[in-house]
Amino acid sequence: MKILFADKYPSKQLAQLQSNGHEISFQPDLQADDIAGAIAGYEVLVVRSTKVEKPTLDAADQLKIVIRAGAGTNTIDKQSATEKGIPVCNVPGKNAIAVAELAMGLLLAIDRRIPDNVREIKDGLWNKKTFSNAKGLFGQSIGIVGAGAIGMAVAERARAFGLEVIMIEKPGRSPALLQKMQSLEIRTVDSLEQLVRNSDIVTVHVPAAPGTKNLVDEEFLGWMRDGAILLNTSRGDVVDEQALLKALDSKGLRAGLDVYKNEPGASSGEFESELASHPNVYGTHHIGASTDQAQAAVAEGVIEIINAYAEGSIINRVNQ
């Protein structure tokens, strides 16, 4: 098959696909607006963060499948793909460790004000008195919204830091998941409100979907304790950014964010965000899954999807 990679992808797995007889075009610098002019003749399109919009799908003359090398697919126009009969597939769970590591990194950075420490000491300032003021993580409570692979990976790491982990009680969970939750001594509550009100830290790990859009809204933020910490390494649409801006000021909340609503459509570009610029926010560049370990695991997942499709089956399809 002819496969277009419009994002970064490990060379080892590219070579593996070529050795399997596929024709590979590796164009990681393609922007979202460029793919439409490059897609003709390709049967498979693989992307990471680059958006796949309707003009791209309209320009595709041979496209049979779109693969998101990662879990979230909100950057792909799934409705247009469905109308054209093009499956959209993802690689869930493979980047859970990397995202969990970043969530914990943001949490530590906020608690100890690490970026501010680094900036001032590089500027030749010694300010031990100011930066000696921190709560520490041990003994605090962290509410995890979402008990998927990433949420559970965060729970494991949070427990190692001595945090009490809180999740929402939900019926129908697998015995394996329930056993893991029990082994981690995770406390469950009956509602999202209870989780938020009982947590010093709230971290969100849910997919982008109609039911999760603006999940973190004015009401949610109103439940949070004054001075609490919010982490979002899932999707920007999950947070009502204007509501969060108000809460940062009115409640002294602090936030660690890896995702935003108005992210550029490609891996580089100009970015203006009132939220990211707020002094109570530590932000990163949507890099949650960007470790060598995670990308190798995701790349293997992409190969599984391509091999399955070549044999006549579709796995991890997210559109109908």
Catalytic (active-site) positions: 235, 263, 286
Coil, helix or strand at residue 115:
helix
The two three-digit tokens of residue 78, written as one number: 């799934």
Inter-residue contact 162 to 135 (CB < 8 Å): no
